[in-house]
Amino acid sequence: MSATGRFTAPVRPAGPAAIQQGDRKSAVPPAGPRTAGSIECRRTRHIGWGNNVTAHDVEYIEILTSDLEATCAYFTSAFGFRARARGTAAGLEGVLLEQGAVRLVVAAGPAAAGHLAAHGDGVVDIAFACTDPVAVRDEAVAAGGRALTGPAPETLVVSGFGTVRHTLVRREPGAPAVLPARWDWSGVGPSAPAGSAPAPALAALDHVAVCLEAGTLHDVVRYYLDGFGFEQFYSEYVAVGEQAMDSIVVRSPSAGITFTVIEPDVSRKPGQIDEFLVRNGGGGVQHLAFLVEEIVPAVLEFEARGVEFLRTPATYYDALAERIPSLEAVIADLRKTNVLADRDEWGHLLQLFTRSPFERRTLFFELIQRQGAQGFGSANIRALYEAVERARAVTA
């Protein structure tokens, strides 16, 4: 942090190879005594090694929606994305949106009707950039995945978690991204009215939060280790009140892809994860986290343009200076914008979650600013859980 209390530009977290390696473990530690109304976190830091064939970055994320124009307007007018192209693909119309290193394909059409009825608006494809897509496809199938397309290298698709798939795109690390191959990009996409779009504030996709049905967490994690060469960063058990969840963070060795994978503890009362699974019709992407340089001005800008963020109790900030003394100079700004703070052994992070813009509340978004912080500390995951619990209380 600078002398003015401002944070410097974001740094993508280093890959797990930069972290001190511990024992390779896959089990979450056994539970200790739990009391209702308490907050409990147990974390096991470890690195699990996947194979040597890896996906290295998120190429794009495809979102199916019931209202293409309204969803595109949300991303362009409110969030400042730029529409690069409009295209069609097998009963779908789609728009490619870009901001910083974030690329979204928003799609709607007759081919989406069945999915939308069963699962609501949400992510259906997290495309991976790979040096060798054929090798990644073969490893994923060997690890228990399904090949969803034929053998043509330009159209390789494999199963992921829930109804989410992974299109495998041939691209070397550092090479520019290309237009998604399965689409006919024949048109220019819609754009926000002149002068209305904010300056780009989203630098990159920080992570993807995935909610799974109870009992499937470790099998899914093992699939990404063995099938895509990911590494297991650490596992954590979080209990908040009478609800609880297990989570494991997996990353590509490049740190270009990070999944926070979560399942509910069914021995406790149902909570937000269970509700998401019902609304989503099973496991899926709960939220996308966008990395920003300066979260406070980004929140003010996006909020003025219609993005709804979750509110934070005023009492949260009363103890923040004691919990993280180095943030004392910016607490007033954090309080004004409802931004949450966390720290780990490497530094700080600031974060805030949006309300879902979709009818079934199946997908929402996070802004995150990192100042050295590399992981997802217990307070970070706790903050997400509590933020969504506040949203549940408002909408109940």
207 is in an annotated binding site: yes
Q: At what angle do helices 378-395 and 272-280 cross, to 10 degrees?
A: 60
In a domain, 8, yes or no: no
218 is in an annotated binding site: no
Does residue 323 share a domain with residue 218? yes
Which of these three, 187, 221, 248, is where a domain ends?
187
In a domain, 9, yes or no: no
Residues 60, 178: Cα–Cα separation, whole Å: 10
In a domain, 196, yes or no: no
In a domain, 10, yes or no: no
Does residue 59 share a domain with residue 45? no
**Looking at residue 16, what is its pLDDT?**
33
Sheet holding 102-108, edge to edge: 157-159, 165-170, 122-130, 55-64, 102-108, 93-99, 82-88, 184-187
**How are beta strands 202-211 and 258-264 bridged, if at all?**
parallel
- Sorting pLDDT into bands at 50, 70 and 90, what band is 195? very low
Per-residue pLDDT of 244-254, as tens digits, reads: 889 999 999 99
Provide the 8-state DSSP code for 255.
S
Does residue 65 share a domain with residue 45? no
Q: Give the tokens for residue 213.
A: 């049905």
Q: Where are the beta strands (DSSP E) in 80-230?
A: 82-88, 93-99, 102-108, 122-130, 157-159, 165-170, 184-187, 202-211
Which of these three, 187, 221, 252, is where a domain ends?
187
Number of structural domains found in the chain: 2
Residues 379, 343: Cα–Cα separation, whole Å: 8
Which of these three, 152, 187, 222, is where a domain ends?
187
321, pLDDT greater than 70: yes
**CB-side neighbour CA atoms (13 Å) of 346:** 16
- Alpha-carbon 25 to chain mean position: 24
Residues 349, 64: Cα–Cα separation, whole Å: 31
115 is in an annotated binding site: no
**How far, in Å, are 201, 295, 296, 366, 369 from residue 10 at the CA level?**
11, 10, 14, 15, 6
Does residue 351 share a domain with residue 280? yes
Enclosing domain of residue 87 = 55-187
**C-beta of residue 92 within 8 angstroms of C-beta of residue 106:** no
6, pLDDT greater than 90: no
3 state SS for 354-379: ECCCCCCCCCEEEEEEEEECCCCCHH
Per-residue pLDDT of 133-190, as tens digits, reads: 999 999 999 999 999 987 666 789 999 999 999 999 999 999 999 899 889 998 765 5
Phi-psi region of 192 (alpha: psi -120 to 50; beta: other; left: phi over 0): beta
Instruction: Report the C-alpha dihedral over residues 369, 373, 378, 383, rounded to 10 degrees.
Output: -10
**Looking at residue 345, what is its pLDDT?**
82
Give the CATH number of the domain where residue 90 resides: 3.10.180.10
Please indicate whether residue 170 or residue 323 has the higher confidence score (pLDDT). Answer: 170
Does residue 263 share a domain with residue 174? no
- Sorting pLDDT into bands at 50, 70 and 90, what band is 368? very high
Winning range, highest mean pLDDT, from 27-41, 42-56, 170-184: 170-184
Average pLDDT of span 26-39: 39
Does residue 156 share a domain with residue 225? no
- Sorting pLDDT into bands at 50, 70 and 90, what band is 336? very high
Does residue 230 share a domain with residue 83? no
Residues 364, 47: Cα–Cα separation, whole Å: 29
In a domain, 113, yes or no: yes
**How far, in Å, are 272, 347, 395, 396 from residue 392 at the CA level?**
8, 31, 5, 6
**Looking at residue 198, what is its pLDDT?**
61
**C-beta of residue 369 within 8 angstroms of C-beta of residue 45:** no
Beta-ladder partners of 68: none
Does residue 128 share a domain with residue 207? no
Buried b (16+ CB within 10 A) or exposed e, 49-81: ebbebbbbbbbbbbbbbbebeebbebbbbbbbb
